[in-house]
Amino acid sequence: MRASRLFIAGTAVALGLALLAGTAVAQTAAPTRDDIVGKLNHFEEAAEVDLPALKQQVMERAKTRIKNDPGPVNRPLIAPDLAKLPAFNAQIQFDADTPIIQPASYQTVGRIADALVHSSLLPYTFLIVGHVESNSKTREANAILSQRRADAIRDVLVNTFKISTKRLHPIGLGEEQFLDRPKPTSAVNGQLQILTYAKLPEDAPHTAAAPAPAAKKPAKKR
């Protein structure tokens, strides 16, 4: 009887560990191209957002020491209109306090690139929005870091995957627009977003950027 109980207990523990392992795999699995396309291809209208002005506003607000700051939980969103746009939230891993993308996230970035050249998404431009969870760093430092990370994703999409730079607009919001406002320190708030931003002008090419032609060597002097 005791051996039977031990066998049942051991089986239960093994099953529990297997379920936990399966959950971990599910959490770290890269999204498919179709997952991303499905999130981004229901664009209706462009958000009225002045990106250069928004970048300046983020930095100014992050630097300001407000006496009556309501704190991260109640801090008003800096660009609420962005919530109206189709969005894909990506779990991109970076080295701590840097814009260096970890190898484990390369597949996810590649899937994003595949989605952006899907026929249903070629007519659109996209925002690459960086966020940072509330931490021991200053809001200004986190605003700068989020912009650098958004820029890093844009650079990989353009330089490695040849997505047209005209279709990508990186912007860092730092701590100024949490994805999970009730939990400002949650890792969810460090996710990077791809948002369908606007339609390309009718006369703009809807193709990926072509590789730059090789530079010609100067003719040898005789």
With a cut of 70, list the residues of the chain below it in pLDDT: 1-28, 66-68, 203-222
DSSP 3-state assignment of 192?
strand
pLDDT at 48: 87
pLDDT at 207: 55
pLDDT at 69: 74
DSSP 3-state assignment of 43?
coil
pLDDT at 209: 47
pLDDT at 202: 77
pLDDT at 35: 97
pLDDT at 166: 96
DSSP 3-state assignment of 123?
coil
Note the pTM of the prediction, 2 decimals. Answer: 0.79
Q: Cα 206 vs. chain centroid, distance in angstroms?
A: 22
Q: 2: which 2 tokens? A: 């005791």
Q: 100: which 2 tokens? A: 């260096």
- Say if residues 72 and 135 touch (Cβ distance below 8 Å): no
Q: 87: which 2 tokens? A: 């969005």
Measured in degrees and rounded to the nearest 5, phi and psi for residue 185 equal: -95, 0
Measured in degrees and rounded to the nearest 5, phi and psi for residue 122 equal: -60, -30
Report DSSP state, residue 215: P
Distance between CA atoms of residues 52 and 91, nearest Å: 26
Per DSSP, what are the bridge partners of residue 89?
A: 193
pLDDT at 29: 81
Distance between CA atoms of residues 193 and 200, nearest Å: 20
CA of 120: how far to CAs of 109, 157, 192, in Å?
Answer: 19, 18, 22
